Amino acid sequence: MNAHEKSDLRAFFEPRAIAVVGSLNESGGLGYTAIRNMRRFHFAGSIYPINPSYKEALGLKAYPDVTAVEDPIDLAVVITPKQTVPGIIDQCARKGVKAAIVVSDGFAESGETGARLQRQIVEISHRTGLRIIGPNTIGTLNTDNNLVTNPYFISYDKVYKGNIAYCSQSGIVGAQGQPLKEQAYPISKMCDLGNKCDVDEVDILDYLYQDPQTGVIAMHIEDVRDGHRFINTVRRVAARKPVLLLKPGRTEHGARAVASHTGSLAGSERIYDAAFQQAGAIRLDTWRELWEIPRVFVNQPLPQGNRIAFITFTGGVGVAVVDTAEEGGLAIADFTPATIKRLSRLSPELARNPVDLGPLVAATDNPLPLLKETIAAVLNDSNVDCLTATFYASSNAETPVYMDIIDQIIKKVNKTVSIWIYGTDLAAMEELSRQVQGRGLPAYFDIELAIKALATAARYSGIKSSLAQAPCPLRQEEENDG
Amino acid sequence: MNAHEKSDLRAFFEPRAIAVVGSLNESGGLGYTAIRNMRRFHFAGSIYPINPSYKEALGLKAYPDVTAVEDPIDLAVVITPKQTVPGIIDQCARKGVKAAIVVSDGFAESGETGARLQRQIVEISHRTGLRIIGPNTIGTLNTDNNLVTNPYFISYDKVYKGNIAYCSQSGIVGAQGQPLKEQAYPISKMCDLGNKCDVDEVDILDYLYQDPQTGVIAMHIEDVRDGHRFINTVRRVAARKPVLLLKPGRTEHGARAVASHTGSLAGSERIYDAAFQQAGAIRLDTWRELWEIPRVFVNQPLPQGNRIAFITFTGGVGVAVVDTAEEGGLAIADFTPATIKRLSRLSPELARNPVDLGPLVAATDNPLPLLKETIAAVLNDSNVDCLTATFYASSNAETPVYMDIIDQIIKKVNKTVSIWIYGTDLAAMEELSRQVQGRGLPAYFDIELAIKALATAARYSGIKSSLAQAPCPLRQEEENDG
């Protein structure tokens, strides 16, 4: 590992001063919009608009180029035509800027001219130690200092602070592409790696490994450049934090599409699967899972085993989820005699897992005390490691009782829980979901996601133990490398 | 097939007069709630409350038992303690009631006492020709006459009329369990089969086959009682209408859970898979798919082949969906030289499939004309059978332009289209989705669902052709049986 690779990525996420190099046109100029976003999000540092045609932008003094700024600059966000980028990167290096996010596209992903320009900026980076994210990226986001480098219009002004880091090779994983505020994802950092001309997935994993705000890493990658380095790093990270990966290219055409998008060799699917498994990364299947599954790691203990209980109001769903559980590596918990006795007191038919409250609920106009007692019985069963409980929403009237169940029962037992919400009123379901998640429990409208979240938590729990116990030559090697 | 089996199911869906037998207690009595629901939905027929303790309910004259009603009754909805059900069914038969929905539970699904009671009502059914749906069911729904037999609280008063029939062995597929109104599913009929003591999945398929309002059948079943009859019927139905099936029991424990829930043998997974394939049914994987995939069949032509085009604003997603397409049996369309030329005029980088508009969109403040021209070029390509187009919503301002694209371009080409919606504002996304679906196109927030919908449509197109062309001994046999 050379000096360049050892330099850390803090300037990308924790800059005190940012230069924004790009169009300052008030009607949609990308430099203008980037600064507008930073200010709407209340970024805590200084911002320097850079454009020779402007003296001022958004009330800030503008400079003709970065070298004209007197104060030190940590990060430059470059959003200019591709031909100008090498010159600007060179100026940044001369100014002593530590890091540059190159938003501009048209580089290695689009032909030889772009590839040549990309090689030029990589050469500057290697020569000077200036780190680069991109090109072809929307950059970074940090909820700790309200940093957002995204130069596209964002219709909201806030992302919630939490411990999930989302990292991607696609702009879709960004504030301009997702209702991050409304979905209330609890986020620590975000990063779009773009073309990975310098900073790559391993660098980011290294940074997020050390980042105290990050507790779980959800990452979309199209390829891995250095398999050995990737496996070593993921093993080290996964011993401390879950690493969840969405990696397209499962099929032959998918692999070819990856190669065409990133200009790199996608690699064989089986090799990736083996590498991820060896590294202790957990592979996800859909974009929805990339966003939603990490919630299970936000504020909960890891399951001590893989035995799931499921409490439902409808037998048909209880039956169907057994498949999802088993496919995810979970076992259907066998209740202890004590639990069976406790549930049988409510009704003999409840005393099996999945617990179907449906018939009892149908026979009462106040089913929630029944749900509370059932959750208490099941969660306190020593044969149960994790639970998916069903919350039903037809109006906001039920919400306080559900919150009481969370506060009085679920939060008092050290087990992993996911909540499946269904009902007849979308607004009530969404409000209930917000409140459940506000209390640190993951809530899902899709039952399969609720189960898969627990399966992922149980799987990570196993990975973490085995990485902790394993004789770890890879770790030592990695530490020697560092 | 005996006379009993030949009697049709119209009384369950098209009754002129319904007797509701159950508690008329105004605070949550299930008979009372059933009648309340019928009236709020504006059911077109007569309703007779049946309960010896009441003279009147909801302004309707109440009767001590069904035989006391002078007018003919087509359908009885029975929601009374299980011990009373055989007597009530017997009264219904004597009164000449054609059909009974037995909502009550505690029958074959819960032990020997219940199983004996269930055998008693089956015996009456076989002896008298009275057909029974249930027990352990929420019954039927018909948007053509606003029938809803559901006895649980429903927080809305309307389900949209359309051509999707949803049928299930679980109450979750019902108006008390889903925001049917807000989701605006275009529905013809719904049915919860419950314990299938008499009417089963094959009877319902037969009815829906003939039902002019039904164009596509989405069915959750836990088991099939008579494989031969099922395969013959599905083959006949699938030659006319898509049959989409969600069938739990994929895993060993899943199969055991099915057996425990329905009291029947679940059967081997491989046998089911083979049977579904032979029958021309298409198997779905999740509850979300059961609800959302049928939308692709609502108001669109079937694809003439399996070649998909995809237009995206973000290359990373374009790459990732290639996997989903290929796994669903779709091929990535190769554009004709004419299309490549037309797209190249916009930008050379557009001229490949998936079409990534991202870089162009980033460089303009009005990307929608570009999207319109791209969709026109791609849809008019003779190598393209179906298209997933991306609509982005950050506010409601864009909606009219998208509607213009649908009206002026998509609706004028006879190809199958699904829309993937993403964006930063949930309310705008939901409004756009409603408007897209109001124009008969399926819209999805999950890209994988948008692709899978087209894959399902293409697969059904192939099934339909092969069933139409196949020498069809099974069909003749079925007709001889009838």
The reply to whether residue B287 touches residue A323, judged by beta carbons under 8 angstroms, is no
Paired sense of beta strands B56-57 and A416-423, if any = unpaired
Nearest to B154 among A172, A315, A424 (CB): A424
Highest mean pLDDT among A205-219, A460-474, B387-401: A205-219
pLDDT of residue B475: 44
Q: Is the ipTM of this complex over 0.90?
A: yes
Across A305-334, average pLDDT = 92
What does the alpha-carbon distance between residue A51 and residue A57 come to, in Å, rounded to a whole number?
A: 10
User: Smallest Cβ distance to A261: which of B152, B172, B319?
Assistant: B319
Please report which helix (H) or strand (E) contains residue B309, including its range: strand B307-312
Using the 8-state DSSP alphabet, how is residue B44 labeled? S
Cβ–Cβ contacts within 10 Å for residue B252, how many?
Answer: 12
Count Cβ atoms below 10 Å from residue A323 Cβ, excluding itself.
24
Nearest by CB to residue B179, choosing from A173, A356, A423, is: A423
Q: For chain B, positions 409-428, list CB contacts with chain A under 8 A.
A: 422-426
Lowest mean pLDDT among A45-49, A250-254, B293-297, B413-417: A250-254
> CA B459, B463, B465: angle at the middle one, nearest 5?
120
pLDDT of residue B480: 44
Mutation target among B104, B158, B290, B319 for the A interface, most CBs of A within 10 A: B319
Residue A158, amino acid: K
DSSP B179-203: -HHHHT--EEEEEE-TT-SSS-HHH
Q: What is the pLDDT of residue B296?
A: 98
* Three-class DSSP category at B470: coil
User: Of B240 and A318, which is predicted with more confidence?
Assistant: B240
Q: How far is A449 from chain B (nearest CA, A)?
A: 10
pLDDT at B161: 96
**What's the CA gap between B296 and A64, in Å, rounded?**
54
Adjacent-strand bridge partners of B309: B387
- Name residues 43-72 of chain A within 8 A of B (Cβ): none
The one-letter amino acid code at A236 reads R
C-alpha separations of B294 from B139, B287, B432, B443 in Å: 21, 12, 19, 11
| Cβ proximity of B78 and B88 under 8 Å | yes
* pLDDT attached to residue B466: 94
Nearest-CB residue to B179 (from A30, A248, A425): A425
CA separation (Å) from B364 to B360, B369, B370, B397, B438?
7, 11, 10, 17, 29
Contact indicator for B227, B309 with CB cutoff of 8 Å = no
CB contact under 8 A, A28 and B365: yes
Q: Name the residue in chain A with its Cα closest to that of B353.
A: A257
Q: How far apart are CA A275 and CA A277, in angstroms?
A: 5
- Phi first, then psi: give them for residue A107, nearest 5 degrees: -100, -130
d(CA B457, CA A405): 44
Positive or negative: CA dihedral B128, B134, B137, B139: negative
* Contact by Cβ (8 Å): A218, A164: yes
Interface subset of A 188-247, CB within 8 angstroms of B: 220, 222, 246
Token couple for B159: 């389900």
How far is it, in rounded angstroms, from Cα A258 to Cα A267? 9
Q: Flag whether residue A42 sits within 8 Å of chain B, measured between CB atoms.
A: no
In B318-344, which positions are buried (b, 16+ CB within 10 angstroms) versus exposed (e)?
A: bbbbbbbbbebebebbebeeebbebbe
Length of chain A in terms of residues written: 482
Name the residue in chain B with its Cα closest to that of A246.
B320
Distance CA A103, CA A18 (A): 14
Q: Which of B199, B81, B83, B189 is nearest to B142 (CA)?
A: B189
- A100, A89 in Cβ contact below 8 A? yes
How near does any CA of chain A get to the CA of B106, in Å? 8
Greatest extent of chain B over all pairs of C-alpha atoms, in Å: 79
Tokens of A63: 């400079």
Asked whether B121 and B197 are in contact (CB, 8 A), the reply is: yes
Residues written for chain B = 482
Q: Look at residue A32 in the predicted model and tell me its pLDDT.
A: 97
Q: How far apart are CA A212 and CA A189, in angstroms?
A: 11
Give how far Cα B56 sits from Cα of A178, A324, B53, B69, Å: 54, 48, 9, 13
Q: How confident is the model at residue A367 (pLDDT cuts 50, 70, 90)?
A: confident
- Check CB contact under 8 Å for B183 and A426: yes
> So what's the pLDDT on residue A256?
74
- Which residue of chain B has the CA closest to A364? B28
Q: Of A107, A253, A395, A424, which to mutate for an interface test with B (greatest number of B Cβ within 10 Å)?
A: A424
Q: Quick one: pLDDT band at residue A260, thresholds 50, 70, 90? A: low
Strand order in the sheet with A243-246: A147-148, A140-142, A187-192, A161-168, A216-220, A243-246, A282-283
Put simply, the chain A residues between 131 and 170 with a CB less than 8 A from any chain B CB are: 152-156, 168-170
A261/B315 Cβ within 8 A = yes
pLDDT, residue B478, reads 46
Which residue did the predictor score with more confidence, A184 or A109? A184
Q: How far, in Å, CA of B75 to CA of A445, rounded?
A: 35
- Report the greatest alpha carbon distance in chain A: 79
Tens-digit pLDDT string for chain B (482 aa)? 344 444 589 999 999 999 999 999 998 899 999 999 999 999 999 999 999 999 999 999 999 999 999 999 999 999 999 999 999 999 999 999 999 999 999 999 888 999 999 999 999 999 999 999 999 999 999 999 999 999 999 999 999 999 999 999 988 899 989 999 999 999 999 999 999 999 999 999 999 999 999 999 999 999 888 889 999 999 999 999 999 999 988 777 777 777 666 555 456 777 888 889 999 999 999 999 999 999 999 999 999 999 999 999 887 888 888 999 999 999 999 999 999 999 999 988 889 999 999 888 877 778 889 999 999 999 999 999 999 999 999 888 889 999 999 999 999 999 999 999 999 999 999 999 999 999 999 999 999 999 999 999 999 999 999 998 875 544 444 444 43
Interior angle at CA B193, CA B188 and CA B196, nearest 5: 145
Give the per-residue SS3 of chain A. CCHHHHCCCHHHHCCCEEEEEECCCCCCCHHHHHHHHHHHCCCCCEEEEECCCCCEECCEECECCHHHCCCCCCEEEEECCHHHHHHHHHHHHHHCCCEEEECCCCCHHHCHHHHHHHHHHHHHHHHHCCEEECCCCCCEEECCCCEECCCCCCCCCCCCEEEEEEEECCCCCCCCCCCHHHHCCCEEEEEECCCCCCCCHHHHHHHHHHCCCCCEEEEECCCCCCHHHHHHHHHHHHCCCCEEEECCCCCHHHHHHHHHHHCCCCCCHHHHHHHHHHHCCEECCCHHHHHHHHHHHCCCCCCCCCEEEEEECCHHHHHHHHHHHHHCCCEECCCCHHHHHHHHHHCHHHCCCCEECHHHHHCCCCCHHHHHHHHHHHHCCCCCCEEEEEEEECCHHHHHHHHHHHHHCHHHCCCEEEEEEEECCHHHHHHHHHHHHHCCCCEECCHHHHHHHHHHHHHHHHHHHHHHHCCCHHHHHHHHHC
CA–CA separation, A402 and A417 (whole Å): 14
Q: Compare CB distances from A155 to B27, B183, B395 and report the shortest one's residue.
A: B395
Q: Is the omega angle on the peptide bond into residue A354 within 30 degrees of 0, that is, cis?
A: yes
The arithmetic mean of pLDDT across residues A415-428, rounded, is 95
| Angle separating helix axes A227-238 and A447-469, nearest 10 degrees | 100
Provide the whole-model pTM. 0.93
pLDDT top residue among A467 and A265 = A467
Please work out, in degrees rounded to the nearest 5, the angle formed at the alpha carbon of residue A472 by the alpha carbons of A468 and A475. 100
- Distance, in Å, from the CA atom of B137 to the CA atom of B131, rounded to the nearest integer, reads 14
Closest CA to A69 of A31, A32, A17: A17
Joined together, the tokens standing for residue A1 give 């590992």
The residue behind tokens 């696609």 is A170
